Chain A
Amino acid sequence: MFQIRKILFLAIFLLPVLLLGKTIKVCNSCEIRTIKEGVAIATALDTVVIKKGKYNEFDIVIDKPLTLLGENYPIIDGELKGGIIKVISDNVTVDGLFIINVGTSYTEDYAAVRVVKSKNFLIQNLVLEKLFFGIYIEKSRDGRIFHNKIIGDAVEEYNSGNGIQLWYSQNIDIENNIITHVRDGIYLEFANDCRIKNNISSNNLRYGLHFMFSNNDLYENNTFENNGAGVAVMFSKKIKMLTNTFKENWGTASYGLLLKEINDAEITGNIFKENTIGINIEGSNRIRYTKNSFIKNGWAIKVRGACYANIFSNNNFMYNSFDVSYNSKLNDNKFDKNYWSGYTGYDLDKDGIGDVPYRPVKLFSYIVNRTPETIILMRSLFIDIIDFSEKVSPVFTPDNLLDNYPLMKSKND
Chain B
Amino acid sequence: MLKILKYSFYDLIRSRWSYVYLLFYLALGFVLLFLNNDLSKAVITLMNVIIILVPLIGTIFGVMYYYNSKEFTELLLAQPIKRSSIFLGQYLGVALSLSMSLIIGLGLPFTMYGLFQSNTIWEFLLLLITGTFLTLIFTALAFNIALYNENKIKGFSYAILLWLFMAVIYDGLFLMSLIMFESYPLDKFSIGVTLFNPIDLSRILILLKLDISALLGYTGAVFQKFFGTNLGVILSCVALSIWVFLPTFNIYRKSKKKDF
Contact = CB atoms under 8 A, between A and B. Distances in A.
Interface of A: 250-254, 276, 298-299, 321, 367, 370-383, 385-386
A382 B172 contact: yes
Contacts of A383: 171, 175
Interface of B: 47-48, 51-52, 167-169, 171-172, 174-175, 178-179, 182, 186-187, 190, 194, 200, 203-204, 207, 211-212, 214-221, 223
Given A381-B167, A381-B171, A385-B168, A376 B214 contact: no
Residue among B187, B194, B218 facing the most chain A CB atoms (10 A cut-off): B218
- The interface residues of chain B, by DSSP majority, are classed as helix
Contacts of B186: 373
B151 to A, nearest CB: 28
Nearest to A253: B217
Contacts, number: 79
Contacts of B175: 367, 374, 377, 382-383
A373 B178 contact: yes
B200 A380 contact: yes
Contacts of B51: 381
A372 B186 CA distance: 10
B168 A371 contact: no
Contact of B182 (A276, A373, A380, A382): A373
Q: Which residue, B47, B51, B200, B215, has most C-beta atoms of chain A within 10 A?
A: B215
A276 B220 CA distance: 13
A371 B179 contact: yes
Contacts of A379: 47-48, 203, 207
A374 B221 contact: no
B171 A377 contact: yes
Nearest to B167: A381
Given A252-B220, A252-B221, A374-B175, A380 B215 contact: no
A321 B210 CA distance: 14
A374 B179 contact: yes
Given A371-B182, A374-B175, 12 more contacts: A250-B211, A253-B217, A299-B215, A321-B215, A373-B190, A374-B179, A375-B220, A376-B190, A377-B171, A378-B216, A381-B167, A382-B168
Contact of A373 (B47, B171, B211, B219): B219
A381 B165 CA distance: 11
Nearest to B169: A382
A381 B175 CA distance: 12
Contact of B215 (A367, A370, A375, A377): A375
A252 B221 CA distance: 8
Nearest to A368: B217
A251 B182 contact: no
A375 B219 contact: yes
Contacts of A373: 178, 182, 186-187, 190, 219
Contacts of A250: 211, 214
Nearest to A299: B215
Contacts of B47: 379
Contacts of A251: 214
Nearest to A321: B215
Contacts of B220: 252, 375-376
10 contacts: A250-B211, A276-B214, A298-B214, A370-B179, A376-B194, A376-B216, A377-B175, A379-B48, A380-B203, A382-B168
A169 to B, nearest CB: 36
A373 B181 CA distance: 11
A329 B231 CA distance: 42
B52 A381 contact: yes
A389 to B, nearest CB: 12
Contacts of B174: 377
Q: Top 10 A-B pairs ranked by shortest CB distance?
A: A382-B171, A298-B215, A371-B182, A380-B171, A373-B186, A382-B168, A374-B178, A373-B219, A382-B172, A276-B214
Contacts of B167: 381-382
Contacts of A382: 167-169, 171-172, 175
Contact of B218 (A254, A372, A377, A381): A372
B216 A375 contact: yes
B222 to A, nearest CB: 9
A379 B51 CA distance: 10
A298 B203 CA distance: 18
Contacts of A367: 175, 179
Nearest to A298: B215
B52 A376 contact: no
A375 B52 contact: no
A248 B164 CA distance: 38
A372 B52 contact: no
Nearest to A364: B175
Contacts of B215: 276, 298-299, 321, 375, 378
Given A377-B174, A381-B168, A382-B175, A372 B214 contact: no
